[in-house]
Structure 1
């Protein structure tokens, strides 16, 4: 983008976005169908498995939305924080401020998905995810600095400006307009509303930091409101898998108020996320069935290894489980590992491929 090209918020029509509704119609229909399939699959889960699904989904989305911004969090601490927010039993693990903060925001999003979006709720989310930060001028409020809010790459002496947001003095007006738009947009189709809300919000970029995480949370809220329940789709995980494409799509959309290409990219990503979530749910059902079938037949080492393998689903344990991996996971000796693994194959929990040092073990499950 050249220096003379106006930013979107400088256009006289801002923020009147345009898109081709017919182009998005097939994606909207597929999303409703896949969401219905997710609900149907969840009916096969016992109550404790539904709780596991909820905790795992919130924890994983908290991890992934943070990873997109370059924050690598401790998974066990995030999960412990999520459980604590629900008043569930934890291992009394002490969570760091970042883990506790993002967990608090995700649970607040889950619990109040149908509540109105307001400046105050956005301030609360910002305080949560900035928990422990001391390097920002404003936490829990719109940015106030006088310098431009820019996304920049390249050398200091020759920077490339990918995007510049409206000046800080405009934030009260810009965000009042955004909140009003969000409240009045509930008649839009699910994907359209969620994708538009995310793009509109990140264009304004109202906070000093955390705009990406909050923008993705707004998308989750929009999808949940359209469905009338938390979506439970792995949106942040799928965006993290397509991170380069995500930033490229956002940057490309900054050239025009006609944002059909962005909404199509976002919609395809939502559908992929819904499919991933359906696969995760299927594997949770498979895990329950396997452990029920083998109840009383597994030692603690075998249980630990199987749980680790299921945790890697639906992608699977990278490269397959070797005897060395098993020893590392369980602390077993070489002889014990061989005996345990042979027993798991006999019991139909694992299938074996290869021979000798090329031997690998995989969960013996039906294909997805």
Structure 2
């Protein structure tokens, strides 16, 4: 099999720009809507949203590769990087590194990519690892860099990257292209197309011993932020994580040819879904502020604590809804008090009730 990097047209990716233009326009329109809606949030909520997005992106970015991070610890660590008082949670090496990477990506979105930047990101991402010989530098091993699955005696090779001796030259070409195609570069490329090509190209080179997927998605985020000229975090990893199997299928298909229309179309759809997810979070924060203002002076401390706990779950809320048992755990209320508190929240329009008896569940009433 001949991989994309083995073909004579590598790395001259070919695609039909006219086929993709509508979604490029949709992305820019969505960005405008998002900026407009964000102006309705106060400074504190905007800051909170940015930190939550960075933390969630770090957690999902690692989860795609099977590494589980504690979201609260990552979020606390991100907040500290921006000088914000946070819970005193002790992040492990991987969580601290992932948090610092997201903070660095957010702050330096406008800067060009370089070997030095990527080496720094790699060292942050693999903070605490002792099983790799090359951390903070490109791979040098002579063995083939392969992505495989299946039994050891009969592995299935999904992709084989260029040999290590090719990596420095390939990365020189990639970095030059990425910087030249930025909005401020001599050959600018539209945001979604540039992000999609950058991610595929980087993954095809697979320049590091480990962490390539996470760094490749960070590079895509950087390309999107540069395209919008704003230190924005799109919920790209969150949506990729939800479509993980399809993501790997699409990457495999795209690695067989340098004609990448199908890959770009898939990437565009994923990115637009990620942008909508971010917009949903903003609407959720606005609805939260509106509801809490409306309820001011009408609810007790237990009810407020429970509502804030529900809001902390984000737009998706408690899986399966809030139960009376959940409420008692959150507030330490007695059963009779729990029944009364929940009934009052329903009457006030703060919660919606579904089901009966032991199957009763409560949901935030944010339809407006």
- Which residue number corresponds to residue 248 of structure 2? 247
1:79 is matched with: 75
Q: Hey, what's the Cα distance between the residues in 2 that align with 1:300 and 1:209?
A: 48
**1:349 to partner: Cα distance:** 1.1
1:356 is matched with which residue? Answer: 357
Give deviations 1:38-70, integer Å, cap 9, x for gaps. 111101000111011111111111111011111
Shift of 1:80: 0.7
Matched residues in 1 for 2:308 and 2:125: separation?
30
Q: Which TM-score applies when normalising by structure 1?
A: 0.96
Question: Shift in Å at residue 305 of structure 1?
Answer: 1.9
The C-alpha deviation readout for 1:126-182, integer Å capped at 9, x for no partner, is: 011111111110110001111000001112121111100011111111111111010
Q: Distance in 1 between matches of 2:317 and 2:71?
A: 18
Q: Which runs of 4+ in 1 moved over 3 A?
A: 296-300
* 1:314 match: 315
Contact 1:350 1:364 survives alignment (8 Å): yes
Moved more, 358-367 or 155-164: 358-367
Instruction: Determine the structure 1 residue equivalent to 2:111.
Output: 115
Aligned pair 1:149/2:145, yes or no?
A: yes
> 1-side partners of 2:64 and 2:301: how far apart?
36
Consecutive unaligned residues in structure 2, runs of 5 or more? 183-187
Aligned to 1:205: 206
Question: 193-202 or 228-237, which moves further after superposition?
Answer: 228-237
Q: 2:165 aligns with which of 163, 169, 181?
A: 169
Rounded to whole Å, the distance in 2 between the matches of 1:304 and 1:59 is 23
Is this contact kept in 1: 2:106–2:233, CA < 8 A? no
- 1:35, 1:231 within 8 Å by CA — same for their partners in 2? no
CA shift, 1:345, in A, is 1.5
SS in 1 for 2:272: helix
Q: What's the secondary structure of 2:296's corresponding residue?
A: coil
CA–CA separation in structure 2 for the residues paired with 1:148 and 1:332: 60
The correspondence for 2:52, drawn from 33, 43, 56, is: 56
Alignment root-mean-square deviation, CA:
1.3
Secondary structure of the equivalent of 1:162? Answer: strand
Q: Residues 206-221 of structure 1: matches in 2 within 5 Å?
A: 206-221=207-222
Q: Deviations over 1:101-147 (max 9, x none)?
A: 00000000000000010000000100111111111101100011110
SS in 2 for 1:12: coil
Moved more, 151-160 or 37-46: 151-160
Q: Is the 8 A contact 2:51 2:78 kept in 1?
A: yes
Question: Which residues in structure 2 correspond to 1:6-85 (within 5 Å)?
Answer: 6-85=2-81
* Residue 268 of structure 1: aligned partner: 269
- 1:79 Cα shift? 0.7
Deviates more, 1:88-97 or 1:50-59: 88-97
Q: Could you say which residue in structure 1 is the equivalent of 2:287?
A: 286
How far the C-alpha of 1:37 sits from its partner, in A, is 0.8
Residues 116-135 of structure 1 correspond to what in structure 2 (within 5 A)? 116-135=112-131
Q: Shift of residue 296 of structure 1?
A: 4.0
> Contact between 1:62 and 1:103, CA under 8 Å: does it hold in 2?
yes
Per-residue CA deviations over 1:284-306 (Å, capped at 9, x if unaligned) read 11111112222344334322321
Partner of residue 193, structure 1: 194
